[in-house]
Structure 1
């Protein structure tokens, strides 16, 4: 039985369809269909059936999932059997919060590739809630996220990467026009520029605004912190960001902090994995680098 077929089967299940699996594996859809057909012939069982416009697992397909997971996990362990990390082969699926990926991870990723040049990292910039959920359901090997999301109880093993202050920032010109974010019951004609709704630091500041009954003009929602910073520097609005993401701009005077009544606002970064996950040498190396450089 060709391991490629098992990997294709697993990817279809994880991605939710043939087309998405083809995109992830860089195959044509006809290749995906052929491989599943070959696997079904070898197993003498239909694994997927078409319901409406979707391909879904049959009962046999559902029963096959844990066996495929076990086989591919065992293969991954064998690839990491080599004691020399430079010879260790294998893949790691890692979800990383965008702020961490942009500003904290580059040196760690560089060191990891130096230590394990034959390993492959599949990195995804993700919302912290999605990282938590995918770690719990096993579709990610590791996650670097903010534990403020909560909701994982004893399902995950996490390693502290540090606590980071979060600041309300603006250009000097905007601060001069809107210096007061402490007085309650205000309507301020300034835009709030921030990540999507499930962003942890956005949630902290919006809760503060609600408690203070401070109303802003409107919210500009973006996924890119560098873009957010550029708009804030250009006097388009204010933002509430981890200090490490704006330290250079603060040092140069391009951005300034606006005081608030928030008591020591901070977020706590962690590296985590499912508590039952086998810790391969590659995973351990990545965890060690994250903890070492916190």
Structure 2
């Protein structure tokens, strides 16, 4: 079996189509099509089918994807055998939520690039539930996120750290709205959130429901930085990881509000498929990750 055809197949998936794959591989679209036809002949199965205007993976293709990944990872292992870290090559795909990416991961990324400059590092910022889905689909090598529930047995999950959560507001917020302990309240305030399914926001909504505290609405702003700016502008309140607002609290630009929320912390974990070969690049990244976040 020609490794070129396998690489072409994987590139089509990674680049979302035959045309993009041809650009990535530096060849014509007809060459990409020819490689796939060759691979389909050798395997005795169809790998793509046309649905509407799109070419999508067949079920057979989805079923063999773990084996394809194993072949390519084994090839990477051979290439990197006995190499020093700065000679490691290949690609490492990682996904994590924006809060960790911005506030906890920069030192890790900087050190990784210094130690393994030849690795093609792909970092995707996404919600914890989306990270989980991408892992289950095999679209990423390593998922770093807040713990959103147990994985199936084919995945290895390791704890990194426990982070405190805090309820914050602008010091310009009227003092009559500071109380989040008393039951049965109606407040003309907005919950500011960086994502509709932010785990810490779900904790807060659960608490409000238990206390029968009704707020005016939810303001979804798309990023943690936009969340902070909205709170600083007194557009609402937010329940967020403390490390994202610690400087603003220290400087007096934000204040912490009293509450009785039981979920006052959040666990960060890293996860990967237990059958996935741990490349030197992935091993190095995990080592740096543990050093920084533990």
TM-score (norm 1): 0.88
CA shift for structure 1 position 290: 1.0
Aligned residues: 289
Match of 2:240 in 1: 241
Within a 5 Å distance, the mapping from 1:63-212 to structure 2 comes to 65=65, 67-147=67-147, 149-174=148-173, 176-212=175-211
Indicate conservation of the 8 Å contact 2:165/2:241, yes or no: yes
Structure 1 Cα separation of the partners of residues 83 and 26 of structure 2? 39
Distance 1:195 1:8, change over 3 A: farther
Distance 1:32 1:185, change over 3 A: farther
Indicate conservation of the 8 Å contact 1:191/1:236, yes or no: yes
1:216-265 deviations in whole A, cap 9, x for unaligned?
Answer: 11101122101110110011111111000000101110001001011361
- Describe the SS at the equivalent of 1:27: helix
CA shift for structure 1 position 44: 6.2
- Describe the SS at the equivalent of 1:201: helix
Structure 1 Cα separation of the partners of residues 290 and 24 of structure 2? 40
Structure 2 Cα separation of the partners of residues 72 and 90 of structure 1? 10
CA shift for structure 1 position 267: 0.3
Distance 1:266 1:7, change over 3 A: same
Indicate conservation of the 8 Å contact 1:95/1:131, yes or no: yes
Structure 1 Cα separation of the partners of residues 120 and 135 of structure 2? 19
**CA RMSD, aligned part only?**
2.6
- Describe the SS at the equivalent of 1:123: strand
1:139-171 deviations in whole A, cap 9, x for unaligned?
Answer: 211111011x01314332223221011011001
CA shift for structure 1 position 67: 4.9
- Describe the SS at the equivalent of 1:278: coil
- Describe the SS at the equivalent of 1:197: coil
Match of 1:42 in 2: 38
Structure 2 Cα separation of the partners of residues 102 and 87 of structure 1? 27
CA shift for structure 1 position 63: 7.0
Q: Which runs of 5+ in 1 are unaligned?
A: none
Q: Which runs of 5+ in 2 are unaligned?
A: none
Structure 1 Cα separation of the partners of residues 65 and 10 of structure 2? 7
CA shift for structure 1 position 117: 1.3
